[in-house]
Chains A and B, each alone.
Chain A
Amino acid sequence: MVDSGIDTAVRRSADATYRPTAGPRHRPRQGLVNVLYLPALALLAMFTAYPLVNGVGLSFTDWDGYSPGHHLVGLENYQRLLSDGTFRTVFVNTLVYALGSTVLQQVLGLGLALALDRPMRGRALLRAIIYLPVLVSPVIMGTIYYLLLQYDNGALNDIVVALGGEQQAWLSTTTGSVAIIVAVNTIQFVGLSMIIYLAGLQSIPTMYYEAARLDGASGWSLFRRITVPLLQPAFATSIVLNLIGGMKLFDVIKVLTGGGPGYSTNSVSTFIGLTYFNAQSAGYAAAMGVALFAVIMIMTLVLNAALNKRRLEA
């Protein structure tokens, strides 16, 4: 931002000096540049901004999603959000998905990055394998994990039985299902955190470690005094990315549990779809959408402020 400010100032003075020679056509031509962002602006206005505003409007109505008309009901949908037990479950699930995957992904991602951050044979291959699932559609990964979790002949149950345990119906309970959704999401996307931390580690100059070693520091204190503080930007990136991604979780839930048993493993995103298309309460679903957007926006702003502040202090 500072750069572009100086840039403009320089160009402005350049404009002033050029005007006599370049003629009056010079300035309008510069202004014309702005039309280049009109296509992007038009798309965002039509398919993001307009739906967002329209969604707020619909959230004050009792629209069913297909009738031509609807009535204004004021804040009724929002009051319903606060008193609806199912929505409360769904909202808590969403937080569990977001926080659970975020914590696990940071621990595992950083661990993997540290283990990979030294020259060794097969390093590129290991990195590529661990990263691979990030690219596969979560719907496909979810489908395959569903196979693994089968009661009869399921790969996981076969291991459990081989170790002397009992077969489990993994997706039959709410708690179990929620935990499995967190686990599957974590395993699929841990490669992303790993890559972010690897890049962070590689950006730390080795001379810091050498200097600290000369001063007698070793192992744990090197990690705590040099690695952790200098990884601050990587922490910020990875945490924000995982939290926001977790708050939007949709695909894995759809294939692994379909939101069941009952509605007990839905996230806000999957529940919005159900409320709109299955329960035909479009107005109520719009209110959930507004709530989800508000929560994610506040989270992003607070997190960015907090993490950037820490980055400055570090």
Chain B
Amino acid sequence: MLIGHRLFRLASVGFLLTFAVIQLVPFYVALTTALKPKSDLSSQWMPPTGRLYLDNFRIAIEQGGILRAIVNSLVVTSVATVLVCLIGALAAYPLARRGTWVNRVVMLLMLGSIMVPPLSVLVPLYSLMNQLGGVNTYWGIILILVTGQLPLSVFLYAAFIRTVPTALEEAARVDGAGTFRVFFRIVLPLLKPVTATVAILTGVFIWNDYQMSVYMLTTQDVRTIAPAIGSFFSQQSSNLGAAAAASLTAMAPILLAYLFLQRHFIKGMLAGAEK
């Protein structure tokens, strides 16, 4: 009995370690590949030997425009995430506080739009953006990505607001504060914890978006990371070292963020998943 238990524990630890190694292998191989010249035919498992070789990173930055893509991603992600939080919080407030039938229908419609897969509306959405002149612009992709993440944001904010007592708002209202004042002075400051969740969750989605960005951002001056890597990779499929270097450079910002905000990331993702 005790031996059986021990064996079981050993097996489960083995399983965990194996899986952790499997998850680290891609990062390790990307690193060894990125640090070796194309002429180096040694196994991907072997670390590079000799002098530090950084040409692949130079190629990724010069030809792949990876740094430019990171800047574009930072612009798109930060603006879109702020908008998702602000517009989502604004919308959630009346929907959480006033349960009239109109508001219930509005809430249902907003949540229902989660079910629309982005690619299912590719044709009409792209042609709409084309007419508006939003293809290959920051604002075009930002509007699309904000709209895509809004339902989740509204849902998370509304769930949180329902747990906040109304006493403060009512007191402010009795003192003569108007709707906007109540929202910006009283409600918004209370939403900090859920804002962290919404920002991390939607921020990661927006940062990683490929399926919309690849069609909406086709020129190098506006292209974000995911489509930039996709197109660089299809051009450089023979130069894998450069592709690996580009991949590592492109994932660096999010890895850094994860390193410092790990707890918030996991908590945020979980909150989003449970809805």
Residues of A within 8 A of B (CB): 1, 3-5, 7-8, 22, 29-30, 32-37, 39-41, 43-44, 46-52, 54-55, 58, 65, 108, 111-112, 114-116, 120, 126-141, 143-148, 150, 152-155, 158, 187, 190-192, 195-196, 199, 237-238, 241, 244, 247-248, 250-251, 254-255, 258, 268-269, 272-273, 276-277, 282, 285-286, 288-290, 292-293, 296-297, 300
Contacts and interface: CB of A to CB of B under 8 A. Distances in A.
Contacts of A36: 90-91, 93-94, 179, 183
B59 interface: no
A138 B210 contact: yes
B117 interface: yes
B201 to A, nearest CB: 11
A187 B229 contact: no
28 contacts: A29-B178, A33-B97, A36-B90, A37-B90, A39-B90, A40-B110, A41-B106, A43-B87, A47-B128, A50-B124, A54-B124, A54-B128, A55-B121, A126-B16, A126-B20, A129-B20, A135-B265, A136-B255, A137-B251, A148-B26, A250-B210, A251-B210, A258-B234, A285-B122, A289-B122, A292-B120, A293-B120, A296-B115
A115 B13 contact: yes
Contacts of A58: 123-124
Given A196-B270, A254-B210, A289-B123, 20 more contacts: A5-B99, A33-B179, A44-B110, A47-B143, A55-B124, A115-B16, A137-B229, A140-B226, A144-B26, A144-B244, A146-B243, A147-B29, A147-B244, A191-B23, A196-B273, A196-B274, A247-B117, A285-B122, A286-B123, A286-B124
B17 to A, nearest CB: 8
A251 B247 contact: no
Contacts of A192: 269, 273
Contacts of A43: 87, 143, 146-147, 150
Given A7-B99, A137-B250, A237-B274, A112 B110 contact: no
Give the 3 A-B residue pairs with the shortest CB-CB distance, closest first: A4-B99, A40-B91, A37-B91
Nearest to A36: B90
A147 to B, nearest CB: 5
A289 B29 CA distance: 37
A32 B119 contact: no
Contact of A144 (B30, B100, B106): B30
Given A141-B26, A153-B43, A135 B204 contact: yes
Interface of B: 12-13, 15-17, 19-20, 22-27, 29-30, 33, 41-45, 87-88, 90-100, 102-104, 106, 109-110, 113, 115-128, 143-144, 146-147, 150-151, 154, 162, 166, 173-174, 178-179, 183, 204, 207-208, 210-211, 214-215, 225-227, 229-230, 233-234, 240, 243-244, 246-247, 250-251, 254-255, 258, 262, 265-266, 269-270, 273-274
Contact of A297 (B29, B115, B123, B162): B115
A248 B119 contact: yes
B97 A241 contact: no
Nearest to B207: A137
A276 B122 contact: yes
A313 B7 CA distance: 35
Given A4-B162, A48-B116, A132-B258, A30 B98 contact: yes
B215 A8 contact: no
Contact of A273 (B94, B97, B116, B119): B119
A40 B124 contact: no
Contact of A128 (B104, B254, B262, B269): B262
Contact of A139 (B103, B143, B229): B229
Contact of B247 (A32, A44, A144, A152): A144
B113 to A, nearest CB: 5
A153 B265 contact: no
Given A55-B120, A144-B29, A272-B119, A153 B233 contact: no
Contacts of B258: 132, 135
B23 A138 contact: no
A44 B94 contact: no
A295 to B, nearest CB: 9
Q: Does more than half of chain A's interface fall in helix, strand or loop, or is it mixed?
A: helix
A44 B93 contact: no
A205 to B, nearest CB: 19
A161 B214 CA distance: 37
Nearest to A120: B13
A139 B16 contact: no
A60 to B, nearest CB: 13
B43 A158 contact: yes
B243 to A, nearest CB: 6
A115 B119 CA distance: 37
A263 B162 CA distance: 49
Contact of B119 (A1, A134, A289): A289
B230 A134 contact: no
Contacts of A147: 29-30, 33, 44, 240, 243-244
Given A51-B124, A272-B120, A111 B115 contact: no
Contacts of A47: 125, 128, 143-144, 147
A129 B179 contact: no
A116 B146 CA distance: 36
